[in-house]
Amino acid sequence: MSQYEQKLKQIRHVTLDMDGTIYKGSTLFEFTQPFLQQLQNLGIGYTFLTNNSSKSVKDYVISLNDMGVHASEDQIFTSTLCAIDYLRDEFPLIRHLYVLGTQSLREEFRKYGFDVVEENQEPEAVIVGFDTSLVYERLCRASWWISQGKTFIATHPDFTCPTDQPTVLVDCGSFCRCIEAATGVTPHAVLGKPDHRMLTGILKRHNLEPNELAMCGDRIYTDMAMARSARCLGVLALTGEATEEDAVKCAPHPDLVVPNLEIFGKLLAAAQQNE
């Protein structure tokens, strides 16, 4: 048995990037459903992973179900949940947050017991996410609290959100650069991919060791970098951003490069069933 087959044989859970890995834009890849069924047949769990903090876990369940992918809330892990874990671990006394984000993002923090303060209330920390409903006054208010020394946390580093529409979707990283320029303050933490805590959160939830988790994604500098820093198996799918040429040139190389999830499923099944 080869080294990569030995690694595949240990896998108990698969983490899946979404856009570029299981679908493109609003179109589900034809191999996605059979791949997920194959994981179930093998007794391997899976989690859908996203940096996009503009939507709640519930929103993502609805979106996936609309595409024909059955998913439960415990199969979704977002940068928002990573930020919640970070707050609980690093700032357990912080409860009052000013959240620069969508209503869904604010509700997600409330769901986990945080007090999301209004404009005239003083927070203990400021959370900056992907605010697709951005209001100038709220950007200014967030900047004010950050300038006053409040803990500054970004849900993820993306400057833009991928889209197949003729527009640029300005994302969380760009909002943070704006705030940094205005205040001179950088975030205490920038979570989401490629931060390793996106995967350690899944390891904890499912009681897994790093060698038992595979991270599948289409980006080398986020998905594969995160897998490497979390010491998990990195599987690069060539169905999104990265090309075969990118995979050859990058160093260190991903653990495994596949044309798509269908091929990964076949390799995984062969290794799992090989005694």
Tell me how far apart the alpha carbons of residues 156 and 165 are, in angstroms, rounded to a whole number.
Answer: 22
Pairing of strands 23-24, 27-28: antiparallel
Lowest mean pLDDT among 38-42, 118-122, 232-236, 261-265: 118-122
Identify which has the larger pLDDT, 191 or 275: 191
Q: How many domains does the chain have?
A: 2
Question: Rounded mean pLDDT of 54-58?
Answer: 95
98 and 176 within one domain: yes
Tell me how far apart the alpha carbons of residues 272 and 5 are, in angstroms, rounded to a whole number.
Answer: 8
Question: Rounded mean pLDDT of 27-44?
Answer: 95
Structural domain contains residue 89: yes
Per-residue pLDDT band for 26 (boundaries 50, 70, 90) equals: confident
Residue 120 has pLDDT above 90, yes or no: no
Rounded to 5°, angle at Cα 148 from 146 and 150: 55
Per-residue pLDDT, 5: 85
176 and 101 within one domain: yes
249 and 235 within one domain: yes
87 and 30 within one domain: no
**Token representation of residue 123:** 């927070």
Question: Rounded mean pLDDT of 207-227?
Answer: 96
Structural domain contains residue 213: yes
Structural domain contains residue 32: yes
Name the DSSP letter for residue 28. Answer: E
Per-residue pLDDT, 269: 94
Per-residue pLDDT band for 27 (boundaries 50, 70, 90) equals: confident
Tell me how far apart the alpha carbons of residues 114 and 19 are, in angstroms, rounded to a whole number.
Answer: 30
Pairing of strands 13-17, 213-217: parallel
Per-residue pLDDT band for 101 (boundaries 50, 70, 90) equals: very high
Residue 275 has pLDDT above 80, yes or no: no
CA distances from 220 to 96, 159, 245, 250 (A): 36, 16, 12, 8
Q: Exposed, middle or buried, 184 (CB in 10 Å: 0-12/13-18/19+)? A: exposed
> In this structure, are residues 43 and 77 in contact, taking their beta carbons and an 8 Å threshold?
no
From the CB of residue 195, how many other CB atoms can be counted at a distance below 10 Å? 23
DSSP 165-184: SSS-EE-HHHHHHHHHHHHS
Per-residue pLDDT, 109: 98
Structural domain contains residue 61: no
Per-residue pLDDT band for 243 (boundaries 50, 70, 90) equals: very high
Question: Rounded mean pLDDT of 172-188?
Answer: 98
Per-residue pLDDT band for 3 (boundaries 50, 70, 90) equals: confident
| Angle separating helix axes 79-90 and 197-205, nearest 10 degrees | 80
Question: Rounded mean pLDDT of 169-182?
Answer: 97
Per-residue pLDDT, 18: 92
184 and 86 within one domain: yes
Structural domain contains residue 71: no
Give the end of a domain, one of 173, 190, 207. 190
Per-residue pLDDT, 187: 98
Name the DSSP letter for residue 73. Answer: G
216 and 157 within one domain: no
Identify which has the larger pLDDT, 106 or 241: 106
Residue-level length of the chain: 275
Residue 123 has pLDDT above 60, yes or no: yes
Per-residue pLDDT, 24: 86
Sign of the C-alpha dihedral, residues 134, 135, 139, 144?
negative
220 and 176 within one domain: no
Give the end of a domain, one of 170, 190, 210. 190
Question: Rounded mean pLDDT of 113-120?
Answer: 93
198 and 170 within one domain: no
Structural domain contains residue 62: no
Give the end of a domain, one of 190, 219, 237. 190
Per-residue pLDDT band for 1 (boundaries 50, 70, 90) equals: low
243 and 154 within one domain: no
pTM of the model: 0.93
- Domain range holding 22? 3-51+194-273
Residue 32's identity, in one-letter code, is T
**Token representation of residue 256:** 């495994």
Structural domain contains residue 139: yes
169 and 131 within one domain: yes
pLDDT mean across residues, the chain: 94
212 and 167 within one domain: no
CATH label of the domain that carries residue 150: 3.40.50.1000
144 and 93 within one domain: yes
Residue 39 has pLDDT above 60, yes or no: yes
Structural domain contains residue 56: no
Tell me how far apart the alpha carbons of residues 169 and 159 are, in angstroms, rounded to a whole number.
Answer: 9
